[in-house]
């Protein structure tokens, strides 16, 4: 009896992974057909020629601090430096903003972020965010694609989220852990409030984590990537799954189809990340996971509780993925140029994905003023984003037809249909909401009209893939249900 059950258990679990891969494959075919995802060669043509940084070097905290301040002195009108908070040992978590409007949020200019070096010994992203800043700034006047990106986006670059850890890491570390954690010995990518605190209580939240949470809530970021090293792939939410066994488990978010496109856009823009085959060119660094498209659902790889990408997805307006940029955690300086060549188009293109969002303004119908904290929902299950500043909102979306519902406790909800098409990849809409109670007149509060279920539903008729995702994840859930059932029968 027991062996049979075990066989069933493992086949059911591998079934989940297989389904994940089938879903990804199907979605990727769909996005490719739509012309949504570009190869590295296509990006090279689209972006056009630009000058690469002259040299690449690892920089310790004080050198990095000087370097970005020098860069700001050279490009005062296109950059701004601030600190998002301090590390345990008091180092600043520097953020370098590159934008035509660097100093503060500007109406309808979306906010993007890259965070690197969260694990102090994973340093490629740390070097390359500085290289990326150089690239954006030095080519601003000569490359139209780059100029348009910098003019239309506020790009926040945090080269190091764990500057204390970095000071203990050493060049040439291929797969080690020295310097990975912060100065209190905590892994910062396990330190955010957990999705399932009953299963995995969050350890004491660290200053670096608090700073990131505060920062991510202050600024209406719409898109982000967390840059790591150790293999070459992109992983996407969810990282977490409620199980004490920590057996990996496919855990798609309600925005799975969107995340697959975001993740695959990076992988496909990379020289070889998207290919099946060894993740690492160096034999010693092969690891067992080899996703067939270079992307993988976080929990399907291994379960991480308290990770940053899940926290972004569940608590803010921001969609975040985690990029493993290269295999060696702390590559030697001489290897950096080659790694830049592999990653540079993907790094540029990923920022530009922020311009694939339904966006616009939510306005008070009487006063014409922007409404802050109006919710924007795209279907019953998916992430809800909230309006900001002058009533602005951004909602990343795949192509398709959507019913968006705008709601606020003081207003009547409005549902509006929006088409995201190749001709209108980033539709702009203005939505006027009517206040429920005329100010200072005591009237009975009417029961708020609740839109009927259909109004909340995405029209999936031309978005079959979403339905496929839902369907096969329920097959997967069914398998898990069967596992539980069989385990239960074991004890009867």
Ligand X SMILES: *[C@@H]1O[C@H](CO)[C@@H](O)[C@H](O)[C@H]1NC(C)=O
Give the pair of three-digit tokens for residue 26.
Answer: 């199907």
Find the binder of Zn ion among 72, 80, 113, 119 (CB under 5 A).
119
Cβ proximity to Zn ion: between 122 and 239 the closer is: 122
Distance, in Å, from the CA atom of 220 to the CA atom of 319, rounded to the nearest integer, reads: 11
Residues 254-293 that bind ligand X (CB under 6 A): 278, 283, 286
Closest CA to 282 of 326, 313, 239: 326
Q: Whole-angstrom Cα distance, residue 388 to residue 435? A: 18
Nearest to residue 377, comparing CAs of 289, 456, 431, 436?
A: 456
* Interface mask toward ligand X for 148-187; x: CB under 6 A: ----------------------------------------
Written as six digits, the tokens of 258 are: 């969107």
- Candidates 54-62, 225-233, 392-400, 467-475: pick the segment binding ligand X (CB under 6 A): 54-62
Decide if residue 211 touches ligand X (CB under 6 A). Answer: yes
CB of 372 to ligand X, least distance (A): 4
- According to DSSP, the β-strands at 319-324 and 221-228 are parallel
Nearest approach, Cβ of residue 480 and ligand X (Å)? 31
User: Please, are residues 329 and 121 in contact by the beta-carbon 8 Å criterion?
Assistant: yes
Q: Does residue 126 interact with Zn ion by CB under 5 A?
A: no
Q: Which does 122 bind (CB under 5 to 8 A by kind): ligand X, Zn ion, none?
A: Zn ion
**In sequence order, what are the beta bridge partners of 90?**
none
Rounded least distance, CB 381 to ligand X, Å? 22
**E strand residue ranges, 328-384:** 357-364, 375-377
Would you count residue 122 as binding Zn ion (CB under 5 A)?
yes
For position 332 contacting ligand X by CB under 6 A, the verdict is: no
If the CB atoms of residues 251 and 339 are measured against ligand X, the closer one turns out to be 339
Question: Is 324 a residue of the active site?
Answer: yes
Taking the C-alpha atoms of residue 45 and residue 177, their distance in angstroms, rounded to an integer, is 39
Contact present, 108 and 392 (Cβ < 8 Å)? yes
Cβ atoms < 10 Å from Cβ of 389: 14
The dihedral formed by the CA atoms of 226, 231, 233 and 235, expressed in degrees to the nearest 10: -50
376 binds ligand X (CB under 6 A): no
* Nearest CA-CA partner of 342 in 321, 356, 322, 328: 328
For 171-330, where are the E strands, in sequence order?
221-228, 233-236, 295-297, 319-324
Out of ligand X, Zn ion, none, what residue 2 binds, judged by CB under 5 to 8 A for its kind, is none
Q: Number of helices (H) and strands (E), helices first, in the chain?
A: 13, 15
> Whole-number minimum distance, CB 198 to ligand X, in Å?
25
Cis (ω within 30 of 0) for the bond into 474? no
Q: Please tell me whether residue 228 binds Zn ion under the rule CB under 5 A.
A: yes
Q: Cβ-closest residue to Zn ion?
A: 228
Q: Which does 228 bind (CB under 5 to 8 A by kind): ligand X, Zn ion, none?
A: Zn ion
> Which is catalytic among the residues 111, 122, 324, 392?
324
- When binding is defined by CB under 6 A, the residue of 14, 46, 77, 474 that contacts ligand X is 77
Stretch that binds ligand X, among 58-66, 171-179, 231-239, 349-357 (CB under 6 A): 58-66
**3-state SS class at 227:** strand
Residue 221: strand pairing partners: 111
Q: State the nearest-atom distance from the C-beta of 336 to ligand X, in Å.
A: 10
Instruction: Return the HEC string of 401-422.
Output: EEEEEEEECCEEEEEEEEEECC
| Minimum CB–partner distance for residue 257 and Zn ion (Å) | 26
Contact with ligand X (CB under 6 A): which of 11, 46, 170, 214?
A: 214
First to last CA, the chain: 12
- Shortest CA distance to 350 belongs to which of 371, 379, 329, 320? 320
Choose which of 126, 134, 329, 359 interacts with ligand X (CB under 6 A).
134
CB of 119 to Zn ion, least distance (A): 4
Residue with tokens 């850890």: 165
Q: Which does 60 bind (CB under 5 to 8 A by kind): Zn ion, ligand X, none?
A: ligand X
Confirm or reject binding of residue 372 to ligand X (CB under 6 A). yes
Write the interaction track for Zn ion spanning residues 87-106; mark x where CB under 5 A is met and - where it is not. Answer: --------------------
Nearer to ligand X, 58 or 395 (CB): 58
Nearer to Zn ion, 190 or 355 (CB): 190
Q: In angstroms, give the least distance from the CB of 130 to ligand X.
A: 6
Q: Which listed option, Zn ion, ligand X, none, makes contact with residue 214 (CB within 5 to 8 Å by class)?
A: ligand X
**Token output for 18:** 């297989």
Where along the sequence are the contacts to Zn ion (CB under 5 A)?
119, 122, 228
Catalytic residues: 324
Where along the sequence are the contacts to ligand X (CB under 6 A)?
53-55, 57, 60, 62-63, 67, 76-77, 85, 130, 134, 211, 214, 218, 278, 283, 286, 372-373
């Amino acid at each position: 009896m027991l062996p049979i059950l075990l066989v069933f258990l493992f086949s059911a679990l591998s079934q989940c992974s297989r389904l994940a891969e089938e879903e990804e494959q199907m979605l990727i075919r769909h996005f490719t057909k739509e012309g949504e995802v570009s190869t590295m060669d296509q990006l090279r043509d689209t972006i056009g020629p630009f000058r690469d940084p002259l040299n690449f070097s690892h920089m310790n905290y004080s050198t990095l601090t000087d370097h970005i301040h020098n860069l700001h002195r050279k490009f005062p009108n296109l950059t701004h430096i601030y600190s998002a908070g301090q590390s345990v040992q008091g180092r600043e978590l520097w953020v370098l903003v590159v934008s035509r409007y660097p100093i503060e949020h500007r109406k309808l200019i979306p906010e993007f972020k890259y965070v690197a070096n969260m694990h102090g010994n994973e340093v490629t992203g740390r070097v390359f965010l500085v290289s990326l800043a150089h690239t954006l700034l030095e080519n601003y006047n000569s490359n139209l694609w780059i100029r348009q990106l910098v003019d239309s986006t506020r790009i926040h670059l945090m080269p190091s989220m764990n500057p204390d850890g970095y000071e203990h890491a050493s060049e040439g570390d291929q797969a080690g852990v020295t310097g990975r954690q912060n100065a209190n010995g905590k892994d910062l990518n396990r330190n955010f409030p957990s999705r399932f605190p009953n299963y995995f209580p969050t350890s004491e939240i660290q200053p670096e984590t608090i700073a990131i949470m505060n920062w991510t809530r202050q600024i209406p970021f719409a898109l982000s990537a967390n840059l790591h090293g150790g293999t070459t792939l992109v992983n996407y939410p969810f990282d977490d799954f409620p199980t004490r066994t920590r057996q990996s488990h496919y855990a798609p978010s309600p925005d799975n189809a969107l995340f697959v496109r975001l993740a695959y856009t990076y992988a496909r823009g990379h020289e070889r990340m998207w290919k099946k085959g060894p993740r690492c060119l160096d034999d010693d660094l092969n690891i067992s996971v080899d996703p067939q498209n270079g992307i993988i659902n976080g929990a399907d790889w291994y379960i991480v509780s308290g990770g940053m990408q899940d926290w972004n997805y569940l608590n803010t307006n921001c969609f975040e993925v985690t990029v493993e940029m290269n295999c060696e955690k702390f590559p030697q300086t001489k290897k950096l140029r080659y790694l830049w060549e592999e990653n540079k188009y993907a790094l540029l293109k990923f920022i530009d994905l922020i311009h694939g969002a339904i966006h616009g303004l939510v306005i008070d119908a009487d006063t014409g003023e922007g409404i802050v904290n109006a919710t924007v929902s795209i279907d019953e299950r998916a992430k809800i984003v909230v309006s900001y500043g002058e009533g602005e909102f951004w909602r990343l979306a795949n192509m398709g037809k959507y019913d968006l519902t705008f709601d606020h406790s003081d207003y009547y909800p409005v549902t509006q249909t929006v088409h995201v098409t190749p001709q209108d990849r980033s539709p702009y809409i203005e939505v006027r909401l009517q206040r429920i109670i005329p100010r200072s007149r005591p009237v009975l509060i009417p029961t708020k009209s609740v839109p009927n279920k259909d109004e909340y539903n995405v029209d999936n008729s031309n978005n079959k893939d979403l339905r496929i995702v839902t369907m096969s994840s329920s097959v997967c859930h069914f398998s898990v249900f069967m596992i539980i059932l069989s385990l239960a029968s074991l004890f009867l």
